[in-house]
Amino acid sequence: MAREAALDSGIPDNALETAIGLQVKAYRTELGMTVVEVAKQAGLSAGMLSKIENGNTSPSLATLKALSRALNVPVTSFFRKFEEVSDATHVKAGEGLVIERRGTRAGHQYQLLGHNVGKPFSVEPYLIALTEQSEVFPIFQHAGMEFIYMLDGEIVYRHADKTYHLHAGDSLSFDADAPHGPERLVKLPIRFISVIVQTREA
């Protein structure tokens, strides 16, 4: 059943064995022990330990217990890498999620291009488009850091008490808790990438 679930989710069918093998090898290397030394302490053959470390065999619970004693680590530590979740978000051209943010009513179009989960911080990348209907709105404020990269057009962008004349290819990064935003639309249409990074609330 577990094997079928792994196949259905796109996870390689030897992913668990590979993850266990990597952890066993990492702990052995950290202790400065050879394959022969660990195998002897665990009551295994060196060939069997090599197969385990290379993910070529599925060790029994008894074998994992023997390895945990030999390496002086909990049995559960061998599963740590397998349990870690690495998420990815793929958004095709033109398919970003159009969302409402402060400024949307002023003619600023926001497309969310990705998101992250399970981390102590959030990363929000946006594609922002400003048109002739867009109003200037230099009073955005929010927690975290922001990075913007100009794709098209020209804009005068305010951050706190300073302004920056940005052209295509220019970038700007800043503390987002200070008032910021477009102050003058110089050359339309304007498109830029905005990436907001902030810690998540507990």
Q: Each residue of 32-91: pLDDT tens digit?
A: 999 999 999 999 999 999 999 998 988 988 999 999 999 998 888 888 776 555 567 777
Q: What are phi and psi of 13, to 5 degrees?
A: -70, -10
- All CATH 2.60.120.10 domain ranges of the chain, comma separated, are 97-199
The phi-psi region of residue 25 (left if phi > 0; otherwise alpha if psi is between -120 and 50; otherwise beta) is alpha
Of residues 71, 59, 65, the one with CA closest to residue 21:
59
Tokens 């929000």, residue?
A: 124
- Cα separation, 29 vs 127, in Å, equals 45
Q: Are 87 and 98 in contact (CB under 8 A)?
A: no
pLDDT score for 97: 72
For the stretch 108-114, contacts whose Cβ atoms lie closer than 8 Å and that sit 24 or more positions apart, written own/partner, are: 108/134, 108/137, 108/182, 113/89, 113/193, 114/89
Tokens 């023997």, residue?
A: 66
Does residue 134 carry a pLDDT above 70?
A: yes
- All CATH 1.10.260.40 domain ranges of the chain, comma separated, are 2-83
DSSP 43: T
The topology (CATH level 3) of 97-199 is Jelly Rolls (2.60.120)
Of residues 165, 171, 178, the one with CA closest to residue 192:
171
Q: Say what the pTM is.
A: 0.56
Q: Are 140 and 181 in contact (CB under 8 A)?
A: yes
Q: Each residue of 11-37: pLDDT tens digit?
A: 456 778 888 999 999 999 989 999 999
Q: Each residue of 139-197: pLDDT tens digit?
A: 888 889 999 999 999 999 999 999 999 999 999 999 999 999 999 999 999 999 999 99
What would the CATH number be for the domain defined by 2-83?
1.10.260.40
pLDDT score for 111: 86
- Cα separation, 51 vs 5, in Å, equals 24
> Given pLDDT bands bounded at 50, 70 and 90, which one contains residue 100?
low
